Each structure stands twice: as C-alpha cells, then as structure tokens.
Amino acid sequence: MSDKFDVVIIGAGPGGYVAAIKAGQAGLKVACIDKAELGGICLNWGCIPTKAFLKSAEVLQSMKHAEDFGLSCSNAKASLEAIVKRSRGVSSTMVSGIEFLFKKNKVTHIKGTAEIIASNLVQVTDAEGSRNIETDKVIVSTGASPVKIPIFPVDGENIITYRQALELTKQPKKLLVIGAGAIGVEFSYFFNAIGTEVHLVEMADQLLPVEDADSAKVLETEFKKQGINSYLKTKTKSLELIKKGKIKAILENAKGKEIELEVDRVLVAVGMSANTNGIGLEGAGVKLDERGNILVNEFQQTSNENIYAIGDCAGRQMLAHKASAEGEVAVDHIAGKAKHGVDYGQIPGCTYCQPQVAGVGLTEKAAKAAGKTIKIGRFPFTASGKAHGVGHPEGMVKLIFDAGSDQLLGAHIVGYDATEMIAELGLAMKLEATWEEIAHTVHAHPTLSEAVMECAMDSQGKAIHI
C-alpha cells in the first residue's frame, strides 16, 4: 500500500504540529507521523504539565501567606497525587485541541515509527506492520531526549529525569537536582514549595547559565530565602544507591571540598541531545554537526533539498516557540512564500519558577564580548506599587541599549509574571526601538509593566521612581 502527500512531517511536537497545521492551511496534502501522543514532549511531558505543577506550587505558597493579605487559610498542604492528576488533565485537554485542529485543517495523523528510506519515501511501522508513504517533501521534527551520563544511571525510580518527576505520586523528603538550567530550576522550586528539602547543584558559576548574570543573582537570592540549597561551581562526583529510596551523593566544589548528602531521589537535568538516530538521515544524505544536530540553512533545508529539519533536532535554542517558528519558515519555503528565516537573536527564554525569569536579546556579558558600547537601565520591583499590591516586590527589569544608536539590545526581567512581560520587549527589539521610544510609550498605572518604562528612563539617569 502506498500513500502520496505533498509534505510528510516526522514528529508531532510544537514544531511538527504547527508545521502540519500551517501546511494544511496552505492547501498542501500533509501527514504528521508520531509514535506517541500529539503535542510531543511539550504538551504531554514538558512545557504544559510542568506549568500546571508550578501553578499548584504558587497557589500553595499564596495560601501559606494568606495572612499577609488579611485572609485566613489554615492547614494548607499539597497532595502530589492530586497535582499529578490535574497536570495530566491539562495535558489531555491540549492534546484534544490539536486533534481538533488537525481535522479542521485536513491533516492526516499517522501513529507509528517513521524512517526515511529515500528523499521522497517514508516508511511507517506500527502494530500492524510497515507501509511506505510517498511525499514531495519531508520535515523532520523529532525533538530531543535527556543526555545520558554513565555516572548518573537513570533507573526511573531512584535516579529520574523530568519525565518520571511528572508522574511521581510519593513526595520525596529530600531531593538532589543535578543541573540548574530551566528544568532543574523549575523542579527545584516546585518540590521546595510543596515541602521537599531540595539541593540544587550546578557546575557553572550561576543558576540558569544562559541568562544574564544579574537575573541569575536575583534568583539565587530569592531561592535562598525560600530555603533551596544551591551549590554553584560544584560537580556531582558520585552517586551511590544505599538501598531503595536512599542515595548517597558526593559533591565537590571549586576548591576541591567534598560535600556528602543523603537523599531520597536524584533528578538529573543536565541537558538534552537531538533525536536523530534510527530515522534514516544518513542514507538520505542529511548531514549532522559534531553534536548530532541536523545542519540546516536559513529556511530549515538540510543538505538534502527535499528534507527539512526544525526544533530541537536542528540545534540552537531548545524551546517550543523556536520550533514552532522554524516550522512556519519551513512550510513557507516549501510553499514558495518564504521571505526570511528565524531571527535567533530575538527568541525569548523563559523560566517559570517564582520569581519568574525571562530574557530576550543580548546579556550584558555577551554585549560587551561583542564589542558593544552600552547603556544599562535597572528598575527594581520594590519601587513598583503594583508589585507591592500583589505581594511580589522581588526582582527587577534590566534593559541594555546601544550607546550610539540608543537601540534596545537585550532585556531581562526577574519577577512575578516576568514571562508575560517579556513579549513587549521582544516586540520592541523586532521594531528596533530605542530607549526613548520605550520610555515615551505611556504604560497604564498601576501595572508591573510600568517598570519597563522606568527602566528605559533609568538607562539615561532619568527614572522618576528610583
């Protein structure tokens, strides 16, 4: 049996399903293949369920501080089992939404394992066997998986990844989190908020190593206030399973001092690697870089002009919105409508702990390394009436401007709703806004976003409220 499509997409994550819907809207005959649920890791085991987890933690923290707002709420406690159940329900709702959109846009959903066996031929294998699908173009959107490190053997019970953490029903009393990127930081916040003793270890000299150093410092201070134990410039030297549910960890800091911990579970969050094995890339002449990422051009084309790659498997930022943007570019190119590729300098990064962390564009360190002469504005939320009103005066806004052109080069926010506020600054960067244009954009009062306006003025020493 042989089917014929204009486009076959391998992978139904936020890159793949967006590309499929866009292809359907363009009038192309499209199939999307995935062995798992629609939505990929993001909707099922990543972005969406973790945000449900984090909201539960935030609500619990608010309940515990009810008296600060003139309210009474006694005996507030968490049920990990109930939190997991709600999280799974949120994911299921979103997956159902993708199913509806596929039907609406005439996307054929095929559940199975895909392998490229020629430039225009994809083999699909499921429980009933294998069949070949003909296609003019292929878009690879296979995502990434947690890096496997021999000294941290994940058994899914004692040593786990984010995947198992989202299904835990028994709350650990003590948890070691290895890696302080977004995944490690978010789970550290969550488990600490529901009462677990958390130890977070990171080899770099700051939490969230890719973020601006000032943002990381603020987060480190707030985590310390919350009771999270952070170990920077520290490596995990060894893990030893003493018995089920008891692991001895030896940490080593930059000075060579060893720190011994005994924990119930270890969460490994040290990075991701592209899912590029076993899908026929080599036979199709698709080239990879030294890290196993698929090499692509501006329009997401690989070294085989009929095959495109998007999302985590194509390297750069491993973010859902980056994958979606690349999916749109790839489909536009296939449809002959592409005008430009993705601007990777304007992709925001967000971490959804409390306080939230968000950034777009250059960090201060990167701007200086690029030889830029810069002016920096800073505005603390302690000077914001709205921040005090909602009970979250922690954090700040930091804006980086080119001293010559006054153009915005980078924006960084730490605080309540930072991940929502960053969109304004992403738009400002897209429109090449200057400090003056941001400062003279009247912001409603009282809002948290007033801090952006004040911060722009502070870059010139003209802030009103500090």
From CA 35, how far away is CA 47, in angstroms rounded?
A: 19
Whether pLDDT at 152 is above 90: no
Give the residues across from 25 on adjacent strands: none
Q: What is the mean pLDDT of the chain?
A: 95
From CA 411, how far away is CA 362, in angstroms rounded?
A: 7
Give the residues across from 349 on adjacent strands: 359
| pLDDT value of position 2 | 52
With bands split at pLDDT 50, 70 and 90, how would you rate the model's confidence at 244? confident
Whether pLDDT at 317 is above 70: yes
SS3 34: strand
Average pLDDT value for residue range 205-230: 98
Residue type, 115: E
Q: Which residues fall within 8 angstroms of residue 268, CB to CB, at 6 or more apart? A: 146, 149, 152, 154, 159, 160, 161, 178, 179
Q: How far is CA 269 from the centre of its chain?
A: 12
pLDDT, tens only, 221-230: 999 999 999 9
Least confident interval from 112-126, 140-154, 244-258, 424-438: 140-154
**Contact predicate 396/414, CB 8 Å:** yes
What domains does the chain contain, in order, with CATH numbers?
Answer: 2-145+273-344 (3.50.50.60), 159-270 (3.50.50.60), 355-458 (3.30.390.30)
From CA 96, how far away is CA 105, in angstroms rounded?
A: 14
pLDDT, tens only, 356-386: 999 999 999 999 999 999 999 999 999 999 9
Average pLDDT value for residue range 264-270: 95
Average pLDDT value for residue range 118-143: 94
Whether pLDDT at 1 is above 50: no
Average pLDDT value for residue range 198-226: 98
| pLDDT value of position 459 | 97
- Does 445 participate in catalysis according to the annotation? yes
Q: Which residues fall within 8 angstroms of residue 182, CB to CB, at 6 or more apart? A: 208, 349, 350, 351
Average pLDDT value for residue range 203-216: 97
| pLDDT value of position 127 | 85
- Catalytic residue (one of 65, 388, 445, 465): 445
Whether pLDDT at 416 is above 70: yes
| pLDDT value of position 148 | 84
DSSP β-ladder status, 30-34 and 265-268? unpaired
